[in-house]
Amino acid sequence: MKKLFVEETVNKIGQEVELYGWVDSKRDHKKIIFIDLRDRTGIVQVVGGEAFKDISQEDVVYIKGIVKKRPEKLVNPKIKTGTIEIEAKEVKILNKTKPLPLPVNTDGYEIDEEVRLKYRYLDLRRPRMYKNLALRSKFIDLIRQYLFKQGFLEIETPILSETTPEGARDFIVPSRLQPGKFYALPQSPQQYKQLLMVAGIERYFQIARCFRDEDPRADRAYGEFTQLDLEMSFVNREDVMKLIEEMIIDVYKKLNIPIKQIPFPVFTYKEALEKFGADKFDLRTEEEKKQNIQAFAWVIDFPFFEKTPEGGWTFTHNPFSAPKPEFMDDLLNKRNIENILTTQYDLVCNGYEVGGGSIRNHRPEALKAVFEIMGLSEEEINKKFGHMIEALGYGAPPHGGIAPGIDRLLTCITDEKNLREVIAMPMTSGGKTAIMNAPSEVDEKKLKELGIKIR
């Protein structure tokens, strides 16, 4: 196993070291040849002679050498290892590369996205991308640490599942065992996490993958995204908001990311519309934008229902939400519908909605009333949500939750313009997978097995 990373060489002056990595660049001065050796921690200059002749950029090499302090005037303050260089004693090419189809030592913004994603395994070699992935890993680690300390359990929920309405189209997967039937990939774990509350788990979270077939948009990741999905029992709206706010403050402090205002300001939906003309807004000054300060805010008191184009009612955020307590009677009696406010809370950061959640209807008759207001028949309600209504009938605790978007939060933190910059293998904006060629055709035999005919 490789024992030493490039950045650690600065502390090894006078010692013999063994290094493994890629050739970031090569400068051939005939008698002496310099290479910059790169690994995930940075680059270090290596000095060699004849033996470096056959090495080219992006070859994978092993180098044994002595760490030498550089003379004062040759110090390179731009790199972490700029005070030293390696005098090579032995070099082995472990793998010779073909010429790369794209440069990997620029920041990459200048390269066409289709090309970057086709060769994502090369694109990720650029230090900027490594930095984003390392930050993502640390961010999730700190979230986990915080939630475990608060007594949460991390629990996985099914991916092959039934539809959970979050306002998008489902991705569906045909069943071979039951031809003509389909699974849906979850738009969120909403129903499962509520069922975990019925199960008495009390505090659940998951770094959850969600699948939504939405029309591609520049500022969205098409197809799938990751959210911190969380649910708690015996809480009110303020409890969930406080937990998430304190988690964010803790995690951001550990990552040295400045937050504009603590506690996060809270606006009602009505106030937000009056003040900003929208329910997502950027509270930062131009100067704060330059410093990449994170400006969080909450938006609460949204209307529960809105009119459909056909003149009926649909939910604005989440059909499983409870109304604010003072509107429970109206909900149960299906009156005053346009004025019912939901317990929904949205978290906003730097102009984006970065998460949302609510207190749920834990009494079956209240959940049923939501679907009745939406015009679903008794039969449809039973077919689609009978399991939820039944489960709530078996002593479901009061509960609520939230789901901040991991990709979106990281885009704000890194000040990247596109979600794809913080996702290892995102799809193209047109819905094609990175590197691999999905969606793709399926051969006739497989289709037959599934009982499917392409029209």
> What are the structure tokens assigned to 176, written together?
């071979």
Which of residues 123 and 346 has its CB atom nearest to ligand ASP in the complex?
346
Q: Specify the stretch interacting with ligand ASP by CB under 6 A; choose among 32-40, 177-185, 249-257, 398-406.
A: 398-406
Q: Under a CB-based contact definition with an 8 Å cutoff, are residues 392 and 377 in contact?
A: no
The nearest distance, CB 401 to ligand ASP, in angstroms, is 4
Footprint on residues 164-193 left by ligand ASP (CB under 6 A):
166, 188, 190
**How many positions of this chain bind ligand ASP (CB under 6 A)?**
10
Q: Specify the stretch interacting with ligand ASP by CB under 6 A; choose among 140-148, 199-207, 279-287, 401-409.
A: 401-409
In this chain, which of 42, 165, 186, 356 binds ligand ASP, going by CB under 6 A? 356
In this chain, which of 124, 197, 251, 403 binds ligand ASP, going by CB under 6 A? 403
Footprint on residues 289-318 left by ligand ASP (CB under 6 A):
318
Asked whether position 194 contacts ligand ASP by CB under 6 A, the answer is no
Which of residues 356 and 426 has its CB atom nearest to ligand ASP in the complex?
356
Distance CA 183, CA 160 (A): 6
Distance CA 210, CA 160 (A): 11
Q: Specify the stretch interacting with ligand ASP by CB under 6 A; choose among 43-51, 155-163, 267-275, 396-404.
A: 396-404
The nearest distance, CB 137 to ligand ASP, in angstroms, is 23
Asked whether position 357 contacts ligand ASP by CB under 6 A, the answer is yes
Q: Under a CB-based contact definition with an 8 Å cutoff, are residues 384 and 405 in contact?
A: no
> Which residue minimizes CB distance to ligand ASP?
188
Q: Where are the beta strands (DSSP E) in 195-315?
A: 203-212, 223-233, 266-268, 296-300, 305-307, 313-315
Closest CA to 347 of 303, 305, 306, 405: 405
Closest CA to 69 of 111, 146, 134, 15: 15
Which of residues 24 and 231 has its CB atom nearest to ligand ASP in the complex?
231
The nearest distance, CB 407 to ligand ASP, in angstroms, is 13
Q: Under a CB-based contact definition with an 8 Å cutoff, are residues 88 and 64 in contact?
A: yes
Q: Specify the stretch interacting with ligand ASP by CB under 6 A; choose among 22-30, 100-108, 400-408, 430-438.
A: 400-408
Asked whether position 132 contacts ligand ASP by CB under 6 A, the answer is no
Asked whether position 358 contacts ligand ASP by CB under 6 A, the answer is yes
Three-state secondary-structure class, residue 277: coil
Which of residues 41 and 190 has its CB atom nearest to ligand ASP in the complex?
190
Distance CA 299, CA 274 (A): 13
Q: Specify the stretch interacting with ligand ASP by CB under 6 A; choose among 86-94, 345-353, 397-405, 415-423.
A: 397-405
Asked whether position 401 contacts ligand ASP by CB under 6 A, the answer is yes
Q: Under a CB-based contact definition with an 8 Å cutoff, are residues 23 and 58 in contact?
A: yes
Asked whether position 48 contacts ligand ASP by CB under 6 A, the answer is no
Distance CA 351, CA 369 (A): 34
Which of residues 168 and 435 has its CB atom nearest to ligand ASP in the complex?
168
Determine which helix (DSSP H) or strand (DSSP E) holds 44, and give its type and residue range. Answer: strand 42-48
Binding to ligand ASP by CB under 6 A, coded x per residue (else -) over 361-380, reads: --------------------
Which of residues 226 and 358 has its CB atom nearest to ligand ASP in the complex?
358
The nearest distance, CB 318 to ligand ASP, in angstroms, is 5
The nearest distance, CB 25 to ligand ASP, in angstroms, is 45
Among all chains, which residue has been given the structure tokens 């110090």? 75
Q: Under a CB-based contact definition with an 8 Å cutoff, are residues 455 and 141 in contact?
A: no
In this chain, which of 63, 388, 402, 409 binds ligand ASP, going by CB under 6 A? 402
Beta strand pairing call for 223-233 and 266-268? unpaired
> Strand order of the sheet with strand 153-154?
153-154, 203-212, 223-233, 399-404, 352-359, 345-349, 296-300, 266-268
Distance CA 348, CA 282 (A): 8
Q: Specify the stretch interacting with ligand ASP by CB under 6 A; choose among 100-108, 285-293, 356-364, 371-379.
A: 356-364
Three-state secondary-structure class, residue 385: helix
Among all chains, which residue has been given the structure tokens 């002056």? 13
Distance CA 259, CA 294 (A): 5
Q: Enumerate binding residues for ligand ASP (CB under 6 A).
A: 166, 188, 190, 318, 356-358, 401-403
